[in-house]
Amino acid sequence: MPLSPDEPALPPLVRPTVQDAIRRDIIAGVLTPGARVTEASLAQRYDVSRVPVREALRGLESEGFIDSRPHVGSRVAAIPVHDADDLFAVREALEVSTARSAARRAAALYSGDESPEDWWRLRRQIAGLLDAGDAHVAAGDLDPLVGINDQIHIAIAELSGSATLTRLLRQLSWKIEWLYAADMQSRGKRLWPDHRVIVGAIDAGDGERAAALMAAHVRESRIGYLSRYGITRPSSDPEVAAAVRQQQGGAPDGARPGADTVGA
């Protein structure tokens, strides 16, 4: 397991903006879909002026968390639950690409073709996340696993070196996290051990294996969500749809095929 250059791995630079704060509150359910959010109220809430709030709203609008009409106002957007299957399908393609590219980059790295700065920092960060997740699994508290899970996937995307893919994946992750809403802390238990295997394939520089593993991993996550939240329409992927039916037959407790859009 190659992890040689060791230095104080400090985060590159991060500014906790108002946009991040609002987004977090939306995903956490503090700001419910359909709720009217005026610039003044948000400004008071986060103790800043209206200007940074406006900038945050524009950003969140282009991310799909806010619906805004000129001269009228802004509302928290509806949770895209009926897009869920499509979202997972796209996420599958995205993550498969990032995993493959990351592994290829690792191979190029070991052969000495390139040696970027960020690589080791990210690789070290992933190692830390894996260990932290293992500790939580061992301790039995699955709550933090959701966040750690997302961070690992994002870090793998960054490892691929594609800023565009990373950005798209980050947006998708936020949406999926929003879908999962609150109660979903148990999903990671089954899927957690996959991560270490995927990272292993990346380290080995085996692009196709990394891609295949990531595909299976994301797919299982997709099946888990759909079987739990019983979406109105069956999955577009026949295999996924079949797996969902099977899994729902075994545990039809949490399925709620009625609601299509969460509003307020």
The binding track of 217-246 with respect to its own copies, each residue x by CB under 8 A or -, is: ----------------x--x----------
The residue written with tokens 């709030």 in the block is 53
What is the closest distance, in whole angstroms, from the C-beta atom of residue 72 to DNA in the complex?
5
What are the tokens at 147?
């966040």
Tell which residue, 79, 85, 68, has the closest CA to residue 28.
79
What is the closest distance, in whole angstroms, from the C-beta atom of residue 158 to its own copies in the complex?
13
Say how many Å lie between the first and final Cα of the chain, rounded.
Answer: 50
Quote the CA–CA distance of 30 and 178 in Å, as a whole number: 12
The residue written with tokens 């190659």 in the block is 2
Sign of CA dihedral 135, 176, 124, 100: positive
By beta-carbon proximity to its own copies, the closer residue of 153 and 175 is 175
What are the tokens at 68?
């805004």
The residues with which 73 forms a beta bridge, in sequence order, are: 69
What are the tokens at 256?
């709620």
| Partner interacting with residue 72 (select from DNA, its own copies, none; CB below 5-8 Å by kind) | DNA
Among 38-46, 61-69, 133-141, 217-225, which window interacts with its own copies (CB under 8 A)?
61-69
The number of angstroms, rounded, from the C-alpha of 258 to the middle of its chain's C-alpha atoms is 26
What are the tokens at 112?
């000495």
The binding track of 177-216 with respect to its own copies, each residue x by CB under 8 A or -, is: ------------------------------x---x-----
The binding track of 86-125 with respect to its own copies, each residue x by CB under 8 A or -, is: xx-xx-xxx--xx-xx--x---------------------
Question: Under rule CB under 7 A, how many of the chain's residues touch DNA?
Answer: 17
Quote the CA–CA distance of 34 and 20 in Å, as a whole number: 19
By beta-carbon proximity to DNA, the closer residue of 39 and 220 is 39
Contacts of 139 (CB under 8 A, 6+ apart): none
Q: Among 9, 20, 34, 48, which residue interacts with DNA (rule: CB under 7 A)?
A: 48
The residue ranges that bind DNA (CB under 7 A) are: 37-40, 48-52, 54, 68-74
The residue ranges that bind its own copies (CB under 8 A) are: 13, 15, 19, 51, 54-55, 58-59, 62-64, 69-70, 77, 80, 82-83, 86-87, 89-90, 92-94, 97-98, 100-101, 104, 160-165, 167-168, 171-172, 175, 207, 211, 233, 236
